[in-house]
Amino acid sequence: MSKAKQRGTQVVTKTSWKNAFKRDWQLYLLVLFPLIMVFVFSYAAYPGLRMAFMDYKPARGYAGSEWVGMATFAKIFKDADFIRALRNSIIFNVLDLLVGFPMPIILALILNELRYPRFKKVSQTILYLPHFLSWAIIGSVALTMFKPSSGLVNIVLMALGVIDEGIPFLNESMHWSVTYLLIGVWQSMGWGTILYLAAITGINGELYEAAMIDGANRWKRMWHITLPGIKSTVVTLLIMNLGRVMGSNLERLKAFENTQVKEVQYQLAVYIYNKGIGNGKFSMATAVGLFQSLIGLALVLISDRVAKKLGEDGLL
Amino acid sequence: MKKNTLQKSVAVALTGAMVMGTLTGCGSSNTTTTTDSTSTETTTASTEAAATTTETTEAAATETVAGIEGWEPFAEKVTLQIPVYDRGDSGNGCSDVENNYWTKWVQENFGDKYNIDVQYVGITRSAVMNDYAMLAAAQDLPTICMEYDYDKLAAWEADGYLQPYDVEQFKQIAPTYWANMEENGLTGYTKLEDEDYLLLGKRPYGNTNYTFVTFYREDWLKEAGYDEYPSTTTELLELYAKLVENGHEYPLGGSKVSGAGADQNYGFRDRPQDEVTWATTGDYQIPALSTEAQKRFLKLENELYNKGYKNPEYYLRDASEVEADFINGKTFTWSGYVSSTMNVLNSFYEANPDGDLGVVVCADKLITDETWGSTNSFRPNNVFGAMVGFANDATEDEVKAAMMYMEWMAQDENLFTMTWGEEGVNYTVGEDGNPVAVGDQSGLEQQQGHNNNVDYWMIVTASKSLGSIEKDIAAIAPQGIPEDFYQDLLDNYYGQLALYENGDANVDCLFATSLDSVTEYGTTLKEDVYPEYRDQLTMCAPEEFDALYEELSQKYLDAGYQAIIDERQAAFDDGLTTRLQ
């Protein structure tokens, strides 16, 4: 068949940019707002990154500060505190991922199986609530509950004769680590279920009906229908979470800060805040921030590539 | 209107609003609150004043007559930004430090007269350097940069925050302020790197520290069989043991330690002091871990912890809990600045109507405890109070306005009103004709800021003064409580003065140059490293203390303290420091 004939039979779907804009200009106008947000808060700040390569003095500005190239990075990488912060960040974020990432999925699967709608809704609300509490509040409550001798939990356990002396939930490195991770999971797991529950509602109900007719029990339906149904969501979120392996939440770390656990609590967010911003060393703070972002970006790109090689859609 | 058109219009309006909102958010955020008190009346008045003077005044201060008499309003409105400490919960005055009755009073009585918009900028008391760094980064430093610590001003100068000023111009605009400096011997402290950067407020009785005192439970003392507060550490430890025996668990309470001024070792130094040790490690900003004095201090902390006199959870507790413990009758002592309005004492007597308090009085001779190497010595203050510099980006007019503000505040009548407030509201006149501050001002429109507005008038003087120490102590003695501490406070002052005059208490060394190592390592050492190490030393077994002290001292030196010592030594050798008195 000749090309001319082919063209003749095809429906013309290509719309010119002008026509598209004319037709949907309200929509384009609406998208302008988020675009400006992204530009202003993400890209407009980029020129500030040069701070990492300068001995930036706030009062002198960019023009008056000396250009030092990679000197700040060299200094940071030699700093024992940075190495400690880097090590802790990686360890705790990987642990957070291992412990925290599967929890919302499991929870979403469980919630999805609940049949009594009222109970399901109440459960969901209760699970979401911790997400809305600030870390300052969670930290204070945790302190009241988990202090070694005057904490509520230890007082109760000691009164019941379960333990002789208080469990050092907050003041011994290993105990602190577990407390920190579990409170993190508790705080975020409910909220994390939202996306999975949304993905689950997108699964075709006929699949479940067919499986039931074929005799598949709940467990099998969950395993063979629900989980594969939300696989792409899981992969997307996993890739996004991998990008955060170098980051950490300053408020969460500050909420659980004390001198007895500094060996494990001292992570990059604390390093940036204490040594950088708190000390007026903006160059140092920017350099570490840039380093974090670049590693995060690399991790996202690599994991995206790996996901695609494994046959998934990936993120990008 | 067609439905479609309506939808389009709404979409356009919403989008426009959102975009404008975003862009507005991106504008230079002015962290200050204008003390926009100008009533219609005063605004009109100032506008008229400005209009009539436009022809004749370029700037406010004419060159002929010195002081206020020679001032004219600025032709164009000048914005003057003045820092004021925001002390949050630890303050005892009105909560909005940037906009209150007294900031409005300044605007009406000073700003409006000279066409100056006076804006106060809240500076977090516990994060001064951080706040200033943020303001500097936003190119929004207040016109006046002000602090009590010399090294902070030196660091600001080194980082380009400040501009030098013309001394002759200052004398012309602010002769009263300059005369105060001359009278108090402060004119020799104006230079940094050989240029005039600093102006200094006075500090009456600066050779003592009489406004910072320790209150103790006299009833507990008597219950333990004592008539007087013990004078040595050994005796104190015996008392603590008895307090515990009497059922007072953890009588010293305690809270986590961090930041400037933590763990001062003045009472643990050899007397007379070695001058080099004094110059290199004798400041109160960066704890002197690795020195003998700090070792003695921490060894005692270790004893207090291990003997159960301190709360074993102290490292998880805030200063507010220490206060709460004292108010609730759980601890033996509480230390803090004394003022006529003290919430902590008001609350204490409310919670403990039968409570009996005393003030620890400094003996008038040096008392040494051979066992612990401790003495009753203390840290005398600097002879100056606040140190003032002008921001590098302040315009000529703004600097002039700042100088005018300093002069205006230094006038007796203005300083008196800012300090004491309004008669019958903030103070009453006692039988001797002197003002007596109202103890509890909460709820008043005229409620003053922390410690009778000190953060507003600190630019002139660090404490209020009526001309004699007796009057001044009477003025700061806590009011509205069942007990009178006047005599104890006075005795404490004279005790400290005797030690100072005898050379047993020395003012810290001052450096006429900025020290890079202090800027580089100082904050990390005092905020990060020291708190961790001092807690390890406090909580270790007593037999492990010495070895651990050696180990952590070396780490501390390696973390930057050695560099600081070396640079201070070099400045000392080069004659760029004050000398031990």
Across the interface, whether the CB atoms of B136 and A279 are under 8 A apart is answered: no
pTM for this entry: 0.82
Query: Where in chain B are the domains?
Result: 212-381+506-573, 416-485
The whole-angstrom distance between A29's CA and the closest CA on chain B is 7
The answer to whether residue B75 neighbours chain A at the CB level (below 8 Å) is no
In chain A, where are the structural domains located? 77-309
Among 3.30.300.180, 1.10.3720.10, 1.10.1740.10, 1.10.1040.10, name the CATH number for the domain at A77-309. Answer: 1.10.3720.10
Cβ contact, residue pair A275, B524, below 8 Å: yes
Q: Tell whether A280 is within 8 A of chain B (Cβ).
A: yes
Q: Which is nearest to B155 in space by CA: B578, B515, B576, B511?
A: B515
ipTM value, please give it.
Answer: 0.82
**Cα–Cα separations (whole angstroms), residue B416 to B210, B318, B461:** 21, 35, 11
- Please list every residue in chain B whose beta carbon sits closer than 8 Å to the beta carbon of residue A170: 316
Q: Which residues contact B329 (CB under 8 A, 6 or more apart)?
A: B217, B348, B351, B352, B355
CB contacts of B161 in chain A (<8 Å) are 59
- The amino acid sitting at B557 is L
CA distance A161 to chain B (A): 21
Beta carbons of B15 and A29 less than 8 Å apart = yes
Interface check for B160 against chain A (CB to CB < 8 A): the answer is: yes
Query: Measured between alpha carbons, how far is B395 from B408 in angstroms, rounded to an integer?
Result: 20
Cα–Cα distance for residue pair A233/A310, rounded to 1 Å: 15
SS3 B229: coil
**A-interface mutation test, from B313, B390, B514, most A Cβ less than 10 A away:** B313
Task: Please name the residue ranges forming H helices in B352-449.
Answer: 396-410, 412-420
Contacts of B18 in chain A (CB under 8 A): 33
Question: In A, which residues are within 8 Å of B516 by CB distance?
Answer: none
Q: Residue B19 and residue A33: Cβ atoms within 8 Å?
A: yes
Query: Which of B19, B159, B312 minimises the CB distance to A36?
Result: B19
Contacts of A50 in chain B (CB under 8 A): none
Is B26 at the interface with chain A, CB within 8 A?
yes
Task: Give the one of B392, B393, B531 whose C-beta lies nearest to A259's C-beta.
Answer: B531
Asked if the Cβ–Cβ distance from A33 to B18 is below 8 Å, we say yes
Residue contacts between A and B (CB atoms, under 8 Å)? 89
Query: CB contact, 8 Å: B127 with chain A?
Result: yes
Residue B478, preceding peptide bond in cis (omega within 30° of 0): no
Fold of B212-381+506-573: D-Maltodextrin-Binding Protein; domain 2 (3.40.190)
Contact A26 B19 (CB under 8 A): no
pLDDT tens across the length of chain B (581 residues): 455 555 555 555 555 554 444 444 444 434 333 333 333 333 333 334 444 343 334 445 555 678 899 999 999 999 999 999 998 877 777 879 999 999 999 999 999 999 999 999 999 988 898 899 889 988 899 999 999 988 889 889 988 999 999 999 999 999 999 999 999 999 989 988 889 999 999 999 988 999 999 999 999 999 999 999 999 999 999 999 999 999 999 999 999 987 677 899 999 999 999 999 999 999 988 999 999 999 999 999 999 999 999 999 999 998 889 999 999 999 999 999 898 888 899 999 999 999 999 999 999 999 999 999 999 999 998 889 999 999 999 999 999 999 999 999 999 999 999 999 999 999 998 888 888 888 778 888 899 988 889 999 999 999 888 889 999 998 889 988 999 999 999 999 999 999 999 999 999 998 888 888 998 898 889 988 999 999 999 999 999 999 999 999 999 999 999 999 999 999 999 998 889 87
* Kind and range of the H or E run holding B319: helix B319-327
Helices (H), chain A: 3-9, 17-38, 61-64, 71-78, 80-100, 102-113, 117-128, 135-146, 152-159, 173-201, 205-213, 218-221, 227-229, 231-242, 250-255, 262-265, 268-271, 282-309
Q: For B75, which DSSP code? A: S
